[in-house]
Structure 1
Amino acid sequence: MRGPHNIWRLIRTGATLERAGAMNVVLDAFEAGRLLRATARAFAWPFKWLGYRGDPALPPATRALTALGPAYIKFGQVLS
């Protein structure tokens, strides 16, 4: 039964990225085209209220990773 849990985690992560304003940072990093950007925003928008806000004083990517918690911060350290 890990499938539904992982889907929920993916939805929560996308919603937090959208709510914190970091979705643009992610899409820019992947050099996403207009269609992919529109699709990602359309899928994340209905769930935006589920995401964590984070500290508004921080940059969007930092705010999103901080709001998601320590596991995602470690993930961010691995990526940098």
Structure 2
Amino acid sequence: MDATFLEALRKELPPTFSRQVAAEALKGIYSAGRLCTLDSMGKGPGGVRIGRVVAYEKGAFLRWLEGRINTPSGNKRLGGCA
């Protein structure tokens, strides 16, 4: 993920949105379930509960996501499967 990715999300996402909308925007990166788990551990983007729905504010969500981005430098491996 890079600045271009974040800019695309900034344009695509509404001012507030549900966890499911966030997962759809982050296809293959974070599922709604994973966002729920991260929120319950205090490591998620944070949000507000409106009835049975958790809603995120766009600015806070994008700051959280940006803070989780690891940008590789040089030829360093990121780890995980090769």
TM norm structure 1: 0.28
Between Structure 1 and Structure 2, the one with more helix by share is 1
Where relative contact order (Cα < 8 A, 6+ residues apart) is larger, the structure is 1
Structure number with bigger Rg: 2
